[in-house]
Amino acid sequence: MIDLQKSALVVGVGAVAGLGAAYGRRFAMAGYRVLLAGRSPDKVETAAEDIRSRGGQARSIIGDASIEADAIKFASAAEDWAPLEVAVHNAGTNRRDSFLELEVANLEQLWREHTLGAFLTGREAARRMVPRGQGTILFTGATGSLRGKALFAAFAAAKAGVRALSQSLAREVGPKGIHVAHLIIDGGINGDRLLRSMPNLRGERGEDGLLLPDHIADTAFLVHQQKRSAWTQETDLRPWSEIY
């Protein structure tokens, strides 16, 4: 159903081919006014222009979700445009470090990007949704949300923190009408970030052998549409070619 009187905030938008932009496209397709937030002005505005070129409503806003003032700015801008109905936290990078060589600053960087950013995004979205008794808050998870892999301790710790936050928030605001869900992306995403480091992967796996961002976004939208008598708090997605 088309409803231009509601907004969707997507935090963590990069390239048009990435997951953040895909979330934005999906909610814009459903008629939401979409506010795309990220740290790279050119990339975020390009993603917004892509949505507008398809007939959707989209704006870009620049900042860092791990900075409290910016997280407040994001949620306020979405709410000022139209009542905030959906908020998606998708921000954060990854890094590879030996546990023995991992520096505190690098561990803290990922904690800030993922865990602190998710906390601030979730808190600010909930503050605006709870008075109306409706809304959806979604968090992008990863394989690292469930288990730590060698050389990725910082990422796993940060993502596990996001998962725990989503569970606590769901238990607090679910009874107040707010749907909180955590989407575990348990596999490689067919996007710029992965393919820059592993350019042959798409050819080896095939077009649908990696998770397609638009298909992930379809699942996010379906979760948002669920009736509250049977809400999903957590779901996991992987391509058919992944080994369970």
Spatial separation of the C-alpha atoms in residues 225 and 139, rounded to whole Å: 16
CATH, domain 7-237, list 3.40.640.10, 3.40.50.720, 1.10.240.10, 3.40.50.10420: 3.40.50.720
Q: Are strands 178-185 and 7-11 parallel, antiparallel or unpaired?
A: unpaired
Does position 88 have pLDDT exceeding 80, yes or no? yes
Q: Are strands 57-62 and 33-38 parallel, antiparallel or unpaired?
A: parallel
Q: Where do the domains of the chain lie? A: 7-237
Contact between 145 and 188 (Cβ < 8 Å): no
Tens digits of residue pLDDT in 96-155: 999 999 999 999 999 999 999 999 999 999 999 999 999 999 999 999 999 999 999 999
DSSP symbol at 143: G
Length of the chain (residues): 244
Does position 1 have pLDDT exceeding 50, yes or no? no
Residues facing 217 on adjacent strands: none
Which segments within 97-233 are labelled E, that is strand? 135-142, 178-185
- The pLDDT score that the predictor gives to residue 102 is 97
Contact between 237 and 211 (Cβ < 8 Å): yes
Provide the pLDDT confidence category of residue 209 given band limits of 50, 70 and 90: confident
Nearest Cα residue to 99 out of 154, 144, 146: 154
Provide the pLDDT confidence category of residue 242 given band limits of 50, 70 and 90: confident
- Mean pLDDT along residues 161-182: 98
CB pairs under 8 A, 24+ apart, for 76-80? 76/124, 77/35, 78/7, 78/8, 78/9, 78/33, 78/35, 79/7, 79/128
Does position 195 have pLDDT exceeding 60, yes or no? no
6-15, 84-93, 184-193, 229-238: least confidently modelled range: 184-193
Which segments within the chain are labelled E, that is strand? 7-11, 33-38, 57-62, 84-89, 135-142, 178-185, 234-237
Computed over every residue of the chain, the mean pLDDT equals: 94
